[in-house]
Amino acid sequence: MSEPGYLSNQFLIAMPNLLDPNFFHSVTYICEHNAQGAMGIVINQPVDMTVAELAEHVGEPPMPHEQGRRSVYRGGPVESERGFVLHSPVGQWESTLPVADGLGVTTSSDIIHAMAEGRGPEKSLVALGYAGWGAGQLEAEIRENAWLNGPADHAIIFDIPAEERWTAAAALIGVDINQLSGDAGHA
């Protein structure tokens, strides 16, 4: 669970001046943040692959239901061949990190197997890779005006189209991200 001063269970919203192609106009859900660093899943960068195609690639039978037609996401540049499933409810999977508010992130293949059989979690976002920061790195990037942070919202993660998530996440904290300059003001 979230510790005071840390950003677990929050959105990290890329400022317009963050031009790194890994994070340009990204929204990252922070799964874990502590003194050792941070780990999150980018939730708005779909790749050209469906969940059904990924499941088939790992040996699962065809997924004809709606869950299989969803896009897989590029979760970040770290371990980009490894699957991560952000989901609600948390459930009972082999390797799950419960984050907060009934949300978990699972790395074990049993969740993909359950999804292929139509008995996976009610809500899910499947990603390849994750975003990671070392001790103090994320805090430094926030001070350098690369990111905004704010509360996470399940509807933004699971329900609204990927291309609307960046502006929607910023709107949660009252920011019209399209009106922002990336330059920090100094008096």
- Whether the full predicted model's pTM is greater than 0.85, yes or no, is yes
Q: Residue 62's pLDDT is what?
A: 80
Q: Quote the pLDDT of residue 143.
A: 93
Q: What is the pLDDT of residues 153-166, one digit of tens each?
A: 999 999 999 999 99
Which regions in the chain score pLDDT beneath 70?
1-4, 181-187
Residue with tokens 């390797």: 95
Cα 9 to chain centroid distance, Å, stands at 10
Phi, psi for 135 (deg, rounded to 5): -55, 125
Output the pLDDT for position 182: 52
Domain range annotation of the chain: 10-83+128-179
Instruction: Give the pLDDT score at 183.
Output: 52
10-83+128-179, which class in CATH?
alpha beta
pLDDT at 186: 42
109, 104, 107: which is closest to 91 by C-alpha?
104
Distance CA 34, CA 139 (A): 11
- Determine the pLDDT at residue 4: 58
Residue pLDDT, tens place only, 32-60: 999 999 999 999 999 999 999 998 888 88
Compute the distance between CA of residue 96 and CA of residue 100 in angstroms, rounded to an integer: 12
Q: What is the pLDDT of residue 187?
A: 41
The DSSP code sequence of 147-160 is EEEEE--HHHHHTS
> How many whole angstroms separate alpha carbon 150 and alpha carbon 20?
21
Cis before 89? omega within 30: yes
In this structure, is the dihedral angle defined by the CA atoms of residues 156, 50, 66 and 125, taken in order, positive or negative? Answer: negative
Strand partners, 49: none
